[in-house]
Homo-oligomer: A and B are copies of this chain.
Amino acid sequence: MAVYTEVSFEALEALLEHYDIGVPTSFKGIAEGVENSNYLLHTTKGNFILTLYEKRVAAADLPFFLSLMRHLAAQGLPCPLPVTNKAGAATASVNGRPAAILTFLEGLSLRRPQPVHCEAAGEALARLHIAGQSFTMSRPNALGPSGWQALVEATRKQADRVQEGLAQLIIRSHDELRARWPETLPAGVIHADLFPDNVLFVDSAVSGLIDFYFACNDALAYDLAVMLNSWCFEADGAFNVTKSKALLKGYRRRRELDTAEVEAMPLLCAGAALRFTLTRLYDWLNPDQGALVRPKDPREFARALRFHLSVRRAGEYGL
Contact = CB atoms under 8 A, between A and B. Distances in A.
A206 to B, nearest CB: 14
B25 A202 contact: yes
Contacts of A106: 25-26, 42
B110 A10 contact: yes
Interface in A17-40: 24-32, 40
A24 B292 contact: no
A139 interface: no
Contact of A40 (B25, B30, B202, B292): B30
A9 B292 contact: no
Contacts of A289: 294
Interface string A137-167: 0000000000000000000000000000000
Q: How large is the interface on A (under 10, 10 to 19, 20 to 34, 35 or more residues)?
A: 20 to 34
A202 B25 CA distance: 7
Interface string A113-125: 0000000000000
A109 interface: yes
A8 B10 CA distance: 33
A108 B10 CA distance: 10
A4 interface: yes
Given A29-B31, A112-B10, A292 B107 contact: no
A260 interface: no
Nearest to A24: B108
A113 B290 CA distance: 27
Instruction: Specify which of A9, A104, A106, A107 lies most central, judged by the most chain B CB atoms within 10 Å of its CB.
Output: A9
Report copies per complex: 2
A204 to B, nearest CB: 13
A111 interface: yes
Interface in A193-241: 202
A319 interface: no
A74 interface: no
A107 B26 contact: yes
Contacts of A294: 289-290
A31 B292 contact: yes
Contact of A32 (B8, B29, B292): B29
Contacts of A112: 8, 10
A30 B27 contact: no
A107 to B, nearest CB: 7
A4 B108 contact: no
Contacts of A12: 108
A34 to B, nearest CB: 14
Contacts of A8: 110-112
A40 B38 CA distance: 14
A293 interface: yes
Interface string A83-125: 0000000000000000000001011111110000000000000
Interface of A: 4, 8-10, 12, 24-32, 40, 42, 104, 106-112, 202, 289-290, 292-294
28 contacts: A4-B293, A8-B111, A9-B109, A9-B110, A10-B110, A10-B111, A10-B112, A12-B108, A24-B108, A25-B108, A25-B202, A26-B106, A26-B107, A28-B28, A28-B30, A28-B31, A28-B40, A29-B30, A29-B31, A29-B32, A30-B30, A30-B31, A30-B40, A31-B31, A31-B292, A40-B40, A42-B106, A292-B293
